[in-house]
Amino acid sequence: GPKNSPPSSVPCLPSLPILGSLPWLGGGLPPHLLFTQLGHRLGPLFGLYVGPHYTLVVNNHRHAREVLLQRGRDFAGRPNMVTTSLLTRGGKDIAFSDYSPLWKLHRRLVHNSFTLFGEGTSRLQDIVLSSVDSLCVELLSNGSRGFDPSPAVTRAVTNVVCTLVFSSTYQPGDSELQEVIRYNNGIVETIARGGLVDIYPWMKFFPNRSLSKLKECITVRDKLLSRKLEEHKASLSDGEPRDLLDALLKGQTGSGRGQKSHGSEEEVITDDHVLMTVAETFGAGVETTSTTLLWILAYLLHHPEVQERVQKELDEHVGSERAVSVSDRGQLPFLDCVINEGMRIRPVSPVLIPHTALTDSSVGGHTVSRGTRVLVNMWSIHHDPQHWDKPDLFCPDRFLDDHGQRVMPSCFLPFGAGPRVCVGESLARLELFLFLSSLLQRMSFKLPEGVSPPNLQGRLGVVLQPLPYTVVVTPRPGWEGGVK
Ligand code: HEM
Ligand code: PLO
């Protein structure tokens, strides 16, 4: 509306006591599509009741930038949910913890530790490249058979995170690696799926299969990670940190562990915080990166001409005599565009993580009261026909300008923005670049004979995943064995 007009409230779906607006949400569409559809009817900003919780849905990129950036601090809270609270020992992590001074300190420590092992060093590159080598060997060992690339990709990404976090490298089939993958899958299947216990917390007092499975997986996770934590504490030295777990333990001391200068228990980064951070890095590091890679491969199967163009770029600027390295990134703009376009058209986190208003605030001139839950629908922003030409078309060129230079449209925010922006963004980008460039340098992905291209609709769990599909890989000249 016009500037200076008095703030008004936003349109809202009807609601009933206890059920809230649930009876009006109908037809089983996943939230990102449902909210996009409701947005066409109610306007880009509307409210609804998820059970008893008033929730504001943001479908438009200007409003999203207000929530995430301009008034990012007002909206930097997280709701308390039963499943994520179980997962994180009551919010001792980064992603699901509500805003607090300790959370800020913790987030900064984690960010600094990532930088230590990410962009700043060649360590991450070495870790990724050695994992890429085994992945290539494994993929090419399938010969001309069609197969599902997902298990191998997930294993390779898990291995990167294991090395990064606690210096463990696993051979294919290692039982500890299998255990990590198994409990992680169990958590993915049961966490924060809009399950009823997250709407009605009292339901946790009734027997619930999904909740017991979640608890079981958390127990397995805790046992494994506590062991790693104890081993690292016992062998921690004064020298350079060996891995992320070392860096966190050292940072914990630096942040005032054992000193308690402010006297309060709550201002200390405890072992629980370190454990929850490690667990979360694992979860976030594996699910997001492998899913993004699988989406991009699925789109390349639909668009062989895009795959060929990436390979041409690689042939021109890297060749086949050596492995790709981070320093090649500047020379491979089209590959970057393919990665961006993959994250635009299928954002792994289509409605981000729920935010809450920490104070009374406003969006688009409308008042929003403290405690309101806010869902930013990145899906609708990434598919807004007002900002994207043919938004449903996979077209990496939209990230290049007329001079062939890379551009970042302001309505492209796959990692979110502001105080709650993804802490793993640069790590993720580096991994995506090294994995995809190495894979396409060494092999081509094709559809098996007579098989139709992958379904691109996706399935929303804790992240938006492609449905399983099969590929055939053929080595490119000089890479018959997968490695040099
Ligand atoms: C948060 C996307 C990879 C760790 C987020 C959020 C998004 C996102 C959309 C939520 C932002 C919000 O709520 O406003 C992605 C994508 C990735 C990726 C697209 C890869 C393609 C990673 C990796 C890590 C990571 C590799 C860690 C190693 C986190 C953490 C948060 C987060 C800890 C919570 C931040 C907070 O609440 O303060 N990410 N992420 N992410 N991500 Fe990522
Ligand atoms: C994945 C399963 C793990 O066992 C636990 C875990 C931790 C962090 C979560 C991640 C899961 C899913 C993807 C999330 C990530 C934090 C940020 C990331 C939600 C549940 C995204 C894409 O927002």
Instruction: Check whether 70 has a pLDDT greater than 90.
Output: yes
Q: Which residue has the higher pLDDT, 270 or 114?
A: 270
pLDDT at 476: 96
Give the lowest-confidence range in 122-126, 138-142, 148-152, 218-222.
122-126
pLDDT at 1: 35
Would residue 167 be called left, alpha or beta, if left means φ above 0 and alpha means ψ between -120 and 50 degrees?
left
Instruction: Check whether 443 has a pLDDT greater than 70.
Output: yes
Would residue 371 be called left, alpha or beta, if left means φ above 0 and alpha means ψ between -120 and 50 degrees?
left
pLDDT at 120: 53
The Cα–Cα gap between 109 and 325 comes to 28
User: How close is the Cα of 471 to the center of ligand 2, in Å?
Assistant: 27
**Which pLDDT tens digit goes with each residue over 228-242?**
999 999 998 888 888
Atom number, ligand 2, closest to the C-alpha of residue 462 = 12
pLDDT at 344: 98
ipTM for the whole predicted complex goes beyond 0.95: yes
User: Do residues 380 and 58 make contact, with C-beta atoms less than 8 angstroms apart?
Assistant: no
pLDDT at 473: 97
**Which pLDDT tens digit goes with each residue over 370-425?**
999 999 999 999 999 999 999 999 999 999 999 989 999 999 999 999 999 999 99
Minimum CA distance residue for ligand 2 atom 6: 283
- Please report which ligand is nearest the Cα atom of 416: 1
Q: Which residue has the tokens 């809450």?
A: 356
Instruction: Check whether 196 has a pLDDT greater than 60.
Output: no
Type of residue numbered 106: H
Q: Which residue has the higher pLDDT, 80 or 399?
A: 399
Atom number, ligand 2, closest to the C-alpha of residue 188 = 2
Q: What percent of the chain clears pLDDT 70, i.e. is strictly above it?
A: 91
Q: Which residue has the higher pLDDT, 209 or 35?
A: 35
**Which pLDDT tens digit goes with each residue over 90-100?**
999 999 999 99
What is the rounded average pLDDT of the residues 275-284?
92
**Which pLDDT tens digit goes with each residue over 295-324?**
999 999 999 999 999 999 999 999 999 999
User: How close is the Cα of 363 to the center of ligand 2, in Å?
Assistant: 27
pLDDT band at 185 (very low <50, low <70, confident <90, very high): confident
Q: Which residue has the higher pLDDT, 360 or 480?
A: 360
Minimum CA distance residue for ligand 2 atom 17: 284
Atom number, ligand 2, closest to the C-alpha of residue 183 = 4
- Please report which ligand is nearest the Cα atom of 110: 1
